[in-house]
Amino acid sequence: MDTQFIGEHLRPGQLGHFFVITSFVASLLSAFSYFRAVRTEQTDPSKSRSWTLLGRGGFVLHAISIISIFIALFYIIENHLFEYHYAWEHSSLALPGKYLLACFWEGQEGSFMLWTFWHAILGLVVMKTAKGLETRTMAIIALVQVFLGTMIFGFYFGPEFHIGSSPFILLRDSMTGAPIFSMPNYLDFVTDGNGLNVSLQNYWMVIHPPVLFLGFAATLIPFAFCIAALWKKDYQLFVKPTLAWSLFNGAVLGTGIMMGGAWAYESLNFGGYWAWDPVENASLVPWLTLIAGLHVLLVYRSTQRALTMSIVLLTLTHLLIWYSTFLTRTGILGKTSVHAFTGDGKSLTYHLLIVIGLLLILTIAMLVKRWRGIPKIKTEEETISREFWMFIGSVVLFLSSIQIAITTSIPVWSPLAKWITGKDFAPPNDVMKHYNDIQVWIAVIVGTLSATVLYMKFKHSDGKVVAKRLGLTAIIAALMALGIGWGQHITTWQYDILLFASSYGIVANVYYGIVVQKTRLRKLGPSVAHLGFATVLLGILLSSYNKHSISFNVTGENFPFGKRTAAENAKENAENTLLYHGLPTPMSEYTVTYVTDSLHIQGKDRIIYYKVNFEKTDPSTHKVVESFTLYPDAFENTKGQGVLTTNPSTKHYWDHDIFTYINFMNGGLLSRSKPDTSTYTSHIVHNPGDTIFLKSGFMVFKGLNPTVNDKRYVPADSDIAVSVRLMVFDSISGPVKEINPILIIRNRMYAFIEDTLPQMDLYTHIDNITIKPEDSVNHKQAVIDIRVKQTNPKEDFIVLKALVFPFINVLWLGIVVMVFGFFISLGDLLNRKGAGSIPAVKK
């Protein structure tokens, strides 16, 4: 029995599904054809030619299908077709247009699509440029596309087992059994989608995932070229394209990772740009192996050494991308990550394991099969040579990636460790310290080497010249490090060494660029990239070492306060400050006031901005020397049942950032919806000096003002208007402000204009003014009936945390410089003619 459903748009989904199948079949066809083309290369060139053409056709068809899938899904999201689960789950009617694309990467299927999409685009470029290696690289690329295609296949065999998951599944199919779907007009009730996670509604999140995924996808190309080289037993042809793609890859992946850092810094609360979170590590590790592989391949290009190592590192990089997908997408990280990635069932876990296994077997089999044939050089390299130290540097980078991978993978190996040792391993208690303590030495070694190696030449260098130049730069760098260390109070010796290493990196690379390379831009790639790298190290050191909280009254240091219990000590050291609505509170050299809050509706989400004013006064003159306002906010998101998310707000200076976010809030707009129970009470005053007491202070009546000059009041002909002068005092901070409610007699009717004092939640108006005639007790006097309402003062408050990041701009600058360096090198490499052909191999 089939129900006929009303109002569904099935066509886009059917088309999408059709293209999913087409793209899969086309990639299969392409992989097979290219494979046949390789097989017939020697025996039958004309047949090989036809297979190649077929392979190309298949891949082009594949790429077109992928783009069509993209368009179909975008159409569904853009037109809010909530009969599709993907649109219902990840978007809503009111979602701003610029975030529509971000819906793609909120969901699992969309992320895989983005990845496949980049592979297809890059594959087209490789097809056009790979020339002699086209058939083999394209066979690998198409094969990987076959694997990836199964991820969005969506073949369902029962509730637990499925191969891939389709983005085109209907809402009613994804929730079978829900009673609503037995009604033909169920769509009348599905009026809006769930909306997009608020933390993704950020401009960084529009740009960060595509760039990062391009970085992930680009690792496939060096992988394909390395396998192709082994396959063809040609270890010359692949060098130039592999270098070019690795440079491109290093730049894009590096940018993608740091964009994630910038996003975390701007919109997450973990108080920084890097937290050694497993998800961050999962993309850093492949970047490290990529950079190591790139350098070893440079060694190979110039000296014919270390070919095996280059191939191992570059193929490993792509395998690690799959592994990091496994870590972040299957929910295995569950309890160790702040990112809310959770499981998509056992199917995906096994699916990814099978793919990783197949790619790993392919790589190892190729290496083993060709092992004997890989050219190796038996002689020993010189100690003072570029290749020797470049190789050491790469090994150190590789060791660094191993350490990060071991700790990040705790949830993967802990079941095994438990079986062996009986201990249930958990991540280190202080994760940041754990990584920093080890990685600081990697940074020192790599930072130092990155500057030193440029001074040495490949094969043979003149030790004296090198020593002279390096000695000079080391002296300048030492002076620079001393100055910075002194000025910034960097007193931990490990970090002093890092400070020297990064200063040395900066000085040496600048010196090298100017003196040795004579600032010829084309040749500056390595020194610019290395300069950027050293600047990044310096930026990380400066911004994290002296990162401190200012949101407590006394000091930025952690003192043992000598209290009896841990809790009391912690309280003294605590970094949260309570800010009452309207009450100025001292915080470091600032006086901070939570002024007001305002509501902003964005899509389905209610965002409350808390206006927090910072004022710095000169202690001697009491003049305000600096004043700025920050707007940390709190989101009430429809996702996750109205869980409140707070986002930071940051004041940027050239030399430091003040970073604030709200940890807790009470009252304010959040609770404004509850009825205001307070009522106006009547207070009678007669003479100047009479006082009215308030909940949090008092008001003094200063007299009447018969000439009302107030912009709220527009006079009319027959009006009689009078304003009352009331000076308000806060019981803690003293005089606040004079307020002037106005009474108007117009056409023999009373009218009043209220005056309010928002920071004390005070509302006043004049009910009437009468003149009491003289009697036996009193003189003739005015009777002024003032109505006063104060809505629960001091109940609105926020708990704020404020951190200072010194010199964080040095870090951002370093990244930009480094990426720029990659592109200079890439440009230089592509301009060079015949750089791929290297001298004949010495046997």
Partner 1 sequence: MKKTHIILLLLIASSIAVIASVFADFSTYETFGSASSHPGKTYYVIGNLQKDKDMIYDPKIDANHFTFFAKDKEGKMEKIIFNGEKPRDIEKSEQIVMQGSYDHEGKFHCSRIQMKCPSKYKKDMVAEGKSS
Binding site for partner 1 (CB under 8 A): 175, 270, 334-335, 337-340, 342-344, 380-381, 383, 388, 391-392, 395-396, 399, 402-403, 406-407, 410, 423-429, 434, 438, 549, 565-567, 570-571, 573-578, 639-641, 643-646, 663-664, 666, 797, 799, 801
Shortest distance (Å) from residue 670 CB to partner 1: 11
Nearer to partner 1, 578 or 816 (CB): 578
Nearer to partner 1, 634 or 786 (CB): 634
The helix or strand, by DSSP H or E, that contains position 423, with its residue range, turns out to be none
Judged on CB neighbours under 10 Å (0-12, 13-18, 19+), 436 is middle
Tell me how many degrees the CA angle 545-551-552 measures, rounded to the nearest 5: 100
Q: Is 382 helix (H, G, I), strand (E, B) or coil?
A: coil
User: Running DSSP on this structure, what letter comes out for residue 22?
Assistant: H
Nearer to partner 1, 392 or 736 (CB): 392
Q: Tell me the C-alpha to C-alpha distance, in Å, between residue 801 and each of 434, 597, 781.
A: 24, 17, 54
User: Running DSSP on this structure, what letter comes out for residue 168?
Assistant: T
Nearer to partner 1, 402 or 475 (CB): 402
Nearer to partner 1, 71 or 399 (CB): 399
Nearer to partner 1, 197 or 759 (CB): 197
Nearer to partner 1, 144 or 396 (CB): 396
Nearer to partner 1, 339 or 737 (CB): 339
Shortest distance (Å) from residue 461 CB to partner 1: 15
**Residue 379 C-beta-side C-alpha neighbours within 13 Å:** 8
Judged on CB neighbours under 10 Å (0-12, 13-18, 19+), 674 is exposed
CA dihedral 263, 267, 272, 276 (to 10 degrees): -60
CA end-to-end span of the chain, whole Å? Answer: 76
Shortest distance (Å) from residue 404 CB to partner 1: 11
Nearer to partner 1, 530 or 639 (CB): 639
In DSSP terms, 803 is beta-bridged to 549, 659
Shortest distance (Å) from residue 731 CB to partner 1: 16
Nearer to partner 1, 423 or 518 (CB): 423
Nearer to partner 1, 280 or 755 (CB): 280
Short-list 489, 580, 641, CA closest to 793: 580
For helices 108-129 and 220-232, angle between their N-to-C axes, nearest 10 degrees: 50
Nearer to partner 1, 326 or 389 (CB): 389
Nearer to partner 1, 287 or 635 (CB): 635
Nearer to partner 1, 129 or 383 (CB): 383
Judged on CB neighbours under 10 Å (0-12, 13-18, 19+), 622 is exposed
Q: 375 and 841 in contact (C-beta within 8 Å)?
A: yes
Judged on CB neighbours under 10 Å (0-12, 13-18, 19+), 496 is middle
Nearer to partner 1, 109 or 755 (CB): 109
Rounded Cα–Cα distance for residues 569 and 546 (Å):
22
The helix or strand, by DSSP H or E, that contains position 132, with its residue range, turns out to be none
Short-list 100, 107, 106, CA closest to 71: 100
List of residues 6+ apart from 479 with CB closer than 8 A = none
Shortest distance (Å) from residue 190 CB to partner 1: 13
Shortest distance (Å) from residue 839 CB to partner 1: 21
The helix or strand, by DSSP H or E, that contains position 493, with its residue range, turns out to be helix 493-511
Rounded Cα–Cα distance for residues 817 and 153 (Å):
41
Q: Tell me the C-alpha to C-alpha distance, in Å, between residue 223 and each of 148, 242, 299, 400, 500.
A: 15, 8, 18, 21, 36
Shortest distance (Å) from residue 432 CB to partner 1: 11
Shortest distance (Å) from residue 341 CB to partner 1: 8
Number of Cβ within 10 Å of residue 814's Cβ equals 23
Would you state the structure tokens that stand for residue 42, as one six-digit string? 């020697």
Shortest distance (Å) from residue 325 CB to partner 1: 17
Shortest distance (Å) from residue 138 CB to partner 1: 36
Shortest distance (Å) from residue 71 CB to partner 1: 27
Shortest distance (Å) from residue 67 CB to partner 1: 29
Shortest distance (Å) from residue 787 CB to partner 1: 30
Shortest distance (Å) from residue 330 CB to partner 1: 12
Question: Left, alpha or beta for 684 (phi > 0: left; psi -120 to 50: alpha)?
Answer: beta
Q: Tell me the C-alpha to C-alpha distance, in Å, between residue 646 and each of 79, 201, 262, 594, 662.
A: 30, 13, 17, 16, 6
DSSP annotation string for 787-817:
EEEE--TT--EEEEEEEEEETHHHHHHHHHH
Residue at token pair 């006063």: 788
List of residues 6+ apart from 343 with CB closer than 8 A = 330, 331, 332, 334, 349
Shortest distance (Å) from residue 471 CB to partner 1: 23
Shortest distance (Å) from residue 804 CB to partner 1: 15
Nearer to partner 1, 344 or 785 (CB): 344
Q: 283 and 253 in contact (C-beta within 8 Å)?
A: yes
Judged on CB neighbours under 10 Å (0-12, 13-18, 19+), 308 is middle
